[in-house]
Structure 1
């Protein structure tokens, strides 16, 4: 049985996934290959067959040359909080889907968007009502030109604060739209409001076009837009691909992951002190960023 608890100890018959973020100095060349050396300390060695330390050099891995898609933001207005994206160990990044005999990392760059209100809170009034979230029903915009390849609508809204049960794999994204944005990139707009989707498969979308509204459907515990870019049209049987937004204003950042949990409980946002707002161009938002999208 799997566990999400980080460990360096493996028992008999166990396997583990190692997550590595390789950072490079600004302007440096991206390597074409990465090699890995794994060193294992054996608790009960049996020399000479099983030495106390086993060192293995793993075959080099070719670094993908796939360039990040350059997109327009899927939302408009101030206070949009980036939850669960790169580069913390968030549920999105650690989600591996075992489908058809392969592990797929569809959500490795996915963003959950919620909107901070002027008082720094996510909702006002009854937490268990979708209407308490002012951004419930906000317009969702196409991030690029390209055709719609899949749509699901008609799933009911969930109750904020409750963990949904009984969902099939096809229902995890809730009401959603999949768009082919070219060069092997597919955009996924998920958890849309019931009955709000304005497009159908085959429709050619223009960048900025409204395709639906922010909702709380599928595997969702509160109103938000889940957005990611993937390698196939299947939201789960795909690998997540990096993307950047052409421009946005970075206005703040939550102090830490615990501040995100406090937000969900009704507390106002605890932001990093002394943060200087700045314009960003052709970069990807990071987990806990707070942004204004003007276009």
Structure 2
């Protein structure tokens, strides 16, 4: 065994072990440990691997000129490629949903629908095909992007979109833990945003002690403040186009960790979110047209 370790290299053995531990944490441990591991795999390890590959290629060129062969260098390159591989998931070349299931990720919640008019699910559901931008991240595993006709019209005027300025209602009973509505609404299709979430309202759900996040609200539209107790149907604000967004829409998702205390928005354990009294499945999917009953 020691001979094998020496041949492969101690650093390579440590990196391989770390790589395997991260995958084991994602699939077998889950929770916040899995969320951190998933983030490291997709956002950190590929850059470390790319840096290592660059260094080893420089060493390879030097040894090539000196006509020296190195088996350890070959192992180094293979380990670097192994670490870079998850970038294919980050870039959605290999679309892979965060490996969690509705049955395992509990508690789930069933809430009122946050809008009162006919709505189209832009992204939503349990699988990566129906929920590509969200399901690939642990925090947004069961998130939704909600739209109204007309949408996807390539207009650079927010007012041309059906969901623009629509009232957002509280889906749950709970306490408002964070609000913000000072960020400008951006031009549809623009990348000129200041934050991922834009303007928001975050609620600690009374039933479960977990958290409901509503993002991309309109500037200066939030009607609640931190500490307010809300119940289903209370007015929260209006739909805008703030944050990282291609057009006006409402983003909503459910997670275990307090979003004001996480290191980064994607590092959290997303939890299933269902809606009551819908004309479609309680976990609607991309393309579903919802006529709210509440």
TM-score, scaled relative to structure 2: 0.62
- In the TM superposition, what is the alpha-carbon distance from 1:82 to its structure 2 partner? 3.8
Give 1:197-216 correspondences, 5 Å limit: 197-216=222-241
In 2, Cα distance between the equivalents of 1:133 and 1:92? 22
Residues 176-210 of structure 1, C-alpha deviations (whole Å, 9 max, x = no match) = 01000131320101000000000000000011111
> What corresponds to 1:106 in structure 2?
139
In 2, Cα distance between the equivalents of 1:153 and 1:131? 18
1:67 aligns with 2:137: no
SS at match of 1:13: helix
1:175 aligns with 2:217: no
> What corresponds to 2:269 in structure 1?
239
> What corresponds to 2:186 in structure 1?
158
* Counterpart contact for 2:143–2:273, Cα < 8 Å: no
Pairing partner for 2:254 from 225, 229, 241: 229
> What corresponds to 1:36 in structure 2?
none
* Counterpart contact for 1:85–1:92, Cα < 8 Å: no
SS at match of 1:77: coil
| Structure 2: stretches of 5+ with no match in the other structure | 1-40, 44-77, 90-95, 260-264
1:122 aligns with 2:147: no
In 1, Cα distance between the equivalents of 2:121 and 2:225? 29
* Counterpart contact for 2:119–2:148, Cα < 8 Å: yes
Which protein has the larger Cα radius of gyration, Structure 1 or Structure 2? 2
1:93 aligns with 2:123: no
* Counterpart contact for 2:211–2:257, Cα < 8 Å: yes
* Counterpart contact for 1:192–1:217, Cα < 8 Å: yes
Residues 51-73 of structure 1, C-alpha deviations (whole Å, 9 max, x = no match) = xxxxxxxxxxxx44x23111000
In 2, Cα distance between the equivalents of 1:143 and 1:180? 12
In 1, Cα distance between the equivalents of 2:146 and 2:293? 16
Give 1:1-295 correspondences, 5 Å limit: 11-14=81-84, 16=86, 19=97, 63-64=104-105, 66-89=106-129, 90-95=132-137, 105-116=138-149, 121-122=150-151, 127-165=155-193, 167=194, 171-182=195-206, 183-234=208-259, 235-250=265-280, 280=281, 283-295=282-294
* Counterpart contact for 1:123–1:132, Cα < 8 Å: no
What is the count of residue pairs matched by the alignment? 203
TM-score, scaled relative to structure 1: 0.62
CA RMSD of aligned residues (A): 2.8
Greater per-residue helix proportion: 2
